[in-house]
Amino acid sequence: MGFALVAGIGIERATKVFARTTAIKGISLDIKDGEFMVLLGPSGCGKTTLLRCVAGLEHLDDGRITIGDRDVTDLAPRHRGIAMVFQSYAVFPHMTVEDNIGFGLRMHRRPKAEITRRVAEGAELLGLTSLLARYPAQLSGGQRQRVAVARALVMDAPVLLMDEPLSNLDALLRLQARADLKRLHKEVKRTTIYVTHDQVEAMSMGDRIAVMREGSIEQVGAPMEIYDRPASQFVGGFIGSPPMNFLRGSVRAGSFEGDGFAFPISRVPPKVDGRGLLLGVRAEHLRIGDQGVPARISVVEPLGDHALVTALVGKTPIKVQAPIDVRAKPDDDVRLAFDESKARWMDAETGAAL
């Protein structure tokens, strides 16, 4: 369709203001050719708005967007070389599956033979071949979702945009569709922006994740990098299930002290004496034993392959991922050991990692 077959996406100082609020605040982000970039954040963080700005469905109030080497900031959606999968799927109810998948090709006036061939290929790829003559009302949610993906893929646009495409599927189907989408991306290698509020989806699918909050990007990085080294309290709390644990306190003379607890530490970030700090530790980096920080067990939840234990350190509830045969009971006094090299220190005021 006249677009470059591979194209990175450049977003520079993108700003979008709605009537009362600034939806995105000067975001810059570079997405490489063929990369699967996930925009992750809670609802209202601006991730969908950013995606819609790349699609051309919203116009930037400031900043620039490039796709490949073209500045697309002022182009209509149909001139940008994008294809999009919507959260509601937006499958046209008055057209058959075949006409839905071929709609974009017809709009771009491709020859009939090519449309037939590419619709067949797209349907094959998504397992829709036997459903081509049906209308959307006769399809399940999962099938409609696949029609939406097929319709976007057959466009051969260099950029694929997806807005929470799995959020309307039930849990089991979502697992399947997640794996399917990941496989598809490997096969078609389009540059993809994928919006989700589900951190598991983000972790499992993304080459990189951009964690967004209140119209800004909080951190960009590979999934494990973000998981292991969250740039802020927000990121640590948003990524991972259970979220990262945080203890609030301050360091005095080699000891970390807070509300109802004090324990010695060896690795302290420089120049933090007396400042309010957060110590972030993930549940799987904590061990229940007879060494470490004193704590009292409050809840034990067996989850099959492990047990999730909630223990109070002072007054702060801390989640611990324990072996399923852990012998802790509520009200037991225990000690929690953790690997200080895997803990994160954050500024209690700003939440930023130190």
Partner 1 sequence: MNARVLDRTLVYGGAILLAVWVLIPLYLVAISAFTPQARLFDYPKPLVPTTFSTETMQFFLEARGVIPSVINSILVALFTIAFGLALGTPAGYALARFRFRGRQAFQVIVLATKMFPIAILSIPLAVTFLQLGLYDNLIAVALVHTAMALPFIILVTGGVFVAVSHELEEAAQTLGCSRWGAFLRVALPLALPGLAAAAIFTFVISWNEVFAATILTLRTRTLPAQVLAGLGTSPLGFKFAGGLFMAMPAVAFIFLIRRYLMNLWGSR
* Interacting span for partner 1 (CB under 8 A) from 49-57, 126-134, 170-178, 206-214: 49-57
Q: Whole-number minimum distance, CB 19 to partner 1, in Å?
A: 8
If one asks whether residue 141 binds partner 1 (CB under 8 A), the answer comes out as no
Element (H, E) at 189: none
Is residue 54 involved in binding partner 1 (CB under 8 A)? Answer: no
Q: Give the three-state DSSP class for 246.
A: strand
Cβ(345)–Cβ(329) below 8 Å: no
Nearer to partner 1, 85 or 297 (CB): 85
Q: In this complex, which beta carbon is closest to partner 1, that of residue 91 or of residue 307?
A: 91
Q: How far apart are CA 55 and CA 79, in angstroms?
A: 10
Out of 13, 32, 59, 78, point to the residue binding partner 1 (CB under 8 A).
78
55: contact with partner 1 by CB under 8 A: yes
User: 65 by DSSP, 3-state: which?
Assistant: strand
Interface residue with partner 1 among 14, 38, 147, 155 (CB under 8 A) is: 155
Residues sharing a CB contact under 8 Å with residue 139, sequence separation 6 or more, in sequence order? 91, 97, 131, 147
Structure tokens at 276: 């309010």
Identify residues 79-98 at the interface with partner 1 (CB under 8 A).
Answer: 82-84, 86-88, 90, 92-94
Q: For residues 31 and 161, which CB has a smaller minimum distance to partner 1 in the complex?
A: 161
Q: Which is nearer to partner 1, 136 or 351 (CB)?
A: 136
Restricting to residues 95-114, which ones interact with partner 1 according to CB under 8 A? Answer: 103-104, 107-108
Which residues on adjacent β-strands are paired with residue 255? 252, 264
Q: Which of 225, 345, 338 lies closest to 284, judged by CA?
A: 338
Q: Which stretch binds partner 1 (CB under 8 A): 75-83, 215-223, 272-280, 306-314?
A: 75-83
169 binds partner 1, rule: CB under 8 A? no
Do residues 248 and 348 lie in contact, with contact meaning Cβ atoms separated by under 8 Å?
A: yes
Smallest CA-to-CA distance from 247 within 320, 327, 329, 328 is with: 320
Site for partner 1 in 232-251 (CB under 8 A): none
Q: How far is CA 13 from CA 17, 191, 215, 263, 352, in A?
A: 13, 20, 12, 44, 22
Q: Which residues bind partner 1 (CB under 8 A)?
A: 19, 55-57, 76-78, 82-84, 86-88, 90, 92-94, 103-104, 107-108, 148, 151-152, 155, 161
